[in-house]
């Protein structure tokens, strides 16, 4: 992918180290100290933590600066930590239990996210330099990355509502929670009435037949009683036995895997035998995460074709102008990838089912389209196809014939069953870059197990590291979905930046791989100290140790006042409060129009390319289709991907 690229990584932030690791994984040669004899293609710095004076793009070097906030932010120049950015951005307030304090995410989420976005932005800039001779600076902010992860919570804020923390529950589905077993914890996630019926029959708890639990709304309303009854069943079983039962009846479930237990987790061990052996032999250290790959790339098929000369669309200065992308995606992962490819200038065609993607109708929204769908699908052309019909499959084949990228997050094998195997795709278009995103990967110990974001967080070690008063809790944002999508984005853009003239590529993303990579990185570093303290109107996050007097003193103070009185303290901002924050409104939030001229709140991308900027411009209208079904009934927002 990026073979021959010379990179200097000389910033103190975790994001710089992780970005360098990602570029190295894609084939670049990385130095962590400048060598006098080398000219670098890319230099990665963190100017708010280091003396980076003089590092600007030259005739030869792209410079990527990863900072906590942008230069225009009123808080710029301060080396804010990951935890402080989590608190200031609204991200921390989304994680934790409903009646508990906000919880710091157990991995340095904004640093990891910044590394992934920075790597994709660098690959874009490398492509621009190679094809057009333009060298430029790049800026990436942790605060922008945090905001980009809030797409399941911002819709409520746009509707002037506050989205409460839900712990391991789901705001619109039940049962959906972490339950104790005889020897640990298990996540059980039901999303349909059929799944609930099968789970109730398997549990054989008479009280579950109560009329209160007959409907979804009743189960959500009486969720405390429901969860208590479910746990009377799960506590009689070993975790593995309970997981096998759920898999047999088609209910998404999985154990909460401790970070030290990853080597014994069957899918992790199958896919990362070297890492599993290293952990068993040497434990987890600062380099263990490097043994886990967040993507696998291979040749799409044996059919080869010469690549057509790359061209830039007339009037466009965007990095991926002239690139055509087909997305067969839903909810978060694949739509996130294609959204950023579109922002970078690609022409994205999104394939939806005849009735449109279900997420279109979630509440809240406007004009029959949800804010969630709008945030995740900007700048796409949308087409409705029924891929069970040969005529529509033929139309897809026509679209793929001149495409550069296909990205999808269907269940493994689903596209192949429709006649689009890797070999078939290679025959249709030998130069296609095909990216498949799934929960456990194509080669998996769980070929039939459905995967939700929550289950992947549990089985990838993320929940073990994120705890509230000792209890494991998921990242409030759909962390496994988001990080998996970011990994796919980097892999695709790195492939598009490749110098090699070769056959098309197959890129595989397992969200569990990405989650484990993040968790192992966090487990291998010195843990930072800090805690959220209750205040009169919320909480403050304080770095380091806290005295009893400081804790008691905060209770009677507004959080802004408490933050001013305590060293290393910042307010824990609610997501709805961001809409009154001048820095958020100026640097993160933007407006886009749909085909009818209506304005929509959207998010700017968290990376800035100085000379060939990415931009968010429009919200898609209704999908153009051949046999449109009646609109789906409105549904509450679901902050998870459906089974991947």
pLDDT digits (tens, 9 = 90+) for 363-405: 899 988 999 999 999 999 999 999 999 999 999 999 999 999 9
Instruction: Say if residue 576's pLDDT is above 90.
Output: yes
Residues designated as active site: 481
Same-domain status, 342 and 388: yes
Domain-located, residue 471: no
- What's the pLDDT at 643? 41
CA atoms of 634 and 632, how far apart (whole Å): 6
Same-domain status, 532 and 519: no
More confident residue, 633 or 26: 26
- What's the pLDDT at 621? 80
Domain-located, residue 244: no
pLDDT, mean of residues 472-490 = 96
Other CB atoms within 10 A of residue 597 CB: 6
Same-domain status, 561 and 427: no
Domain-located, residue 564: yes
| Residues 187 and 178: beta-carbon distance below 8 Å | yes
Domain-located, residue 110: no
Residue by residue, DSSP assigns 560-578 as: HHHHHHSTTEEE---GGGG
- Domains held by the chain: number: 2
Same-domain status, 533 and 519: no
Same-domain status, 512 and 553: no
Q: In this predicted model, what pLDDT tens digit does every residue of 608-634 receive, in sequence order?
A: 999 999 999 999 987 665 344 344 444
Report which of 260, 174, 269, 259 is spatially closest to residue 213, judged by C-alpha positions. 174
Q: Which two tokens stand for residue 446?
A: 């769980």
Same-domain status, 391 and 425: yes
User: What are the residues facing 325 on neighbouring strands?
Assistant: 348, 405
Same-domain status, 490 and 356: yes
- What's the pLDDT at 528? 85
Q: In this predicted model, what pLDDT tens digit does every residue of 266-297 receive, in sequence order?
A: 999 999 999 999 999 999 999 999 999 999 99
Same-domain status, 380 and 517: yes
| Residues 606 and 117: beta-carbon distance below 8 Å | yes
Domain-located, residue 252: no
Same-domain status, 409 and 544: no
Residue 558, domain extent: 528-572
pLDDT, mean of residues 460-489 = 96
| Residues 55 and 45: beta-carbon distance below 8 Å | yes
Same-domain status, 349 and 392: yes
Q: What CATH number should be reported for the domain holding residue 409?
A: 3.40.50.10540
More confident residue, 110 or 630: 110
More confident residue, 316 or 482: 482
| Residues 179 and 231: beta-carbon distance below 8 Å | yes
- The b/e string for 410-444 (b: 16+ C-beta within 10 A; e otherwise) is bbbeebbebebebeebbebbbbbbbbbbbbbbbeb
The pTM for the full model equals 0.94
**74 DSSP 8-state letter:** T
CA atoms of 384 and 184, how far apart (whole Å): 44
Same-domain status, 338 and 314: yes
Q: Which two tokens stand for residue 128?
A: 């621009």
Angle among Cα 176, 373, 604 to the nearest 5 degrees reads 115
Instruction: Say if residue 509's pLDDT is above 60.
Output: yes
Instruction: Say if residue 512's pLDDT is above 50.
Output: yes
pLDDT, mean of residues 502-508 = 86
């Amino acid at each position: 992918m990026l073979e021959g690229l010379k990179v200097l990584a000389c910033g103190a932030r975790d994001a710089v180290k992780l970005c360098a690791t990602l570029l190295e994984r894609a084939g670049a040669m990385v130095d962590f100290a400048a060598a006098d004899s080398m000219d670098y293609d890319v230099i990665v710095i963190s100017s708010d933590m280091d003396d980076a004076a003089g590092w600007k793009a030259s005739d030869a070097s792209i410079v990527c600066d990863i900072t906590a906030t942008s230069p225009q932010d009123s808080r710029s120049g301060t080396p804010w930590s990951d935890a402080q950015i989590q608190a200031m951005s609204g991200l921390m307030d989304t994680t934790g239990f409903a009646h508990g304090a906000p919880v710091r995410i157990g991995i340095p989420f904004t640093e990891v996210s910044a590394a992934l976005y920075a790597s994709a932005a660098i690959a874009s800039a490398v492509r621009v330099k190679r094809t057009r001779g333009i060298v430029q600076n790049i800026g990436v902010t942790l605060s922008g990355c945090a905001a980009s992860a809030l797409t399941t919570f911002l819709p409520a804020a746009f509707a002037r509502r506050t989205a409460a923390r839900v712990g391991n529950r789901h705001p619109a589905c039940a049962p959906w929670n972490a339950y104790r077993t005889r020897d640990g914890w298990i996540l059980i996630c039901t999303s349909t009435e059929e799944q609930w019926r099968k789970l109730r029959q398997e549990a054989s708890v008479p009280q579950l037949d109560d009329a209160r639990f007959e409907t979804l709304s009743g189960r959500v309303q009486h969720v405390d009683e429901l969860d208590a009854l479910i746990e009377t069943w799960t506590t009689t079983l070993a975790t593995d036995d309970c997981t096998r039962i759920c898999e047999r009846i088609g209910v998404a479930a999985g154990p909460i895997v401790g970070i030290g237990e990853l080597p014994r987790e069957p899918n992790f061990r199958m896919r990362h035998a070297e890492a599993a052996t290293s952990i068993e032999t040497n434990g987890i250290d600062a380099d263990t995460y490097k043994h886990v790959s967040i993507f696998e790339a291979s040749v799409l098929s044996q059919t080869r074709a010469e690549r057509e000369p790359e061209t830039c669309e007339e009037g466009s200065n965007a990095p991926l102008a002239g690139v055509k992308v087909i997305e067969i995606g839903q909810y978060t992962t694949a739509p996130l990838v294609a959204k950023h490819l579109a922002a970078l200038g690609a022409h994205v065609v999104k394939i939806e089912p005849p009735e449109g993607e279900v997420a279109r109708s979630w509440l809240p929204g406007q004009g029959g389209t949800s804010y969630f769908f709008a945030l995740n699908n900007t700048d796409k052309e949308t087409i409705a196809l029924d891929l069970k019909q040969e005529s529509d499959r033929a139309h897809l084949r026509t679209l793929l014939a001149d495409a550069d990228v296909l990205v999808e997050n269907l269940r493994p094998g689903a596209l192949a069953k429709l006649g689009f195997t890797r070999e078939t795709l290679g025959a249709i278009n030998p130069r296609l870059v095909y990216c498949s995103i799934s929960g456990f990967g194509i080669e998996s110990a769980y070929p039939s197990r459905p995967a939700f974001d929550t289950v992947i967080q549990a089985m990838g070690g993320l929940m073990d590291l994120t705890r509230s008063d000792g209890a494991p809790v998921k990242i409030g944002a759909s962390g496994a979905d988001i990080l998996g999508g970011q990994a796919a984005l980097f892999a695709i853009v790195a492939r598009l930046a490749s110098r090699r003239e070769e056959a098309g590529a197959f890129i595989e993303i397992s969200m569990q791989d990405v989650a484990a990579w993040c968790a192992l990185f966090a487990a291998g570093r010195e843990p930072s100290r800090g805690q959220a303290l209750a205040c009169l109107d919320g909480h403050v996050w304080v770095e380091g140790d806290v005295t009893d007097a400081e804790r008691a003193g905060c209770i009677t103070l507004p959080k802004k006042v408490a933050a001013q009185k305590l060293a290393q303290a910042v307010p824990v901002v609610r997501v709805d409060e961001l809409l009154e924050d001048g820095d958020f409104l100026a640097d993160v939030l933007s407006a886009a129009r749909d085909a009818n001229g209506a304005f929509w709140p959207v998010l700017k991308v968290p990376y800035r390319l100085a000379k060939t900027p990415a931009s968010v411009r429009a919200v898609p209208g209704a999908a153009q289709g051949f046999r449109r079904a009646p609109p789906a009934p409105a549904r509450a927002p679901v902050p998870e991907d459906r089974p991947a």
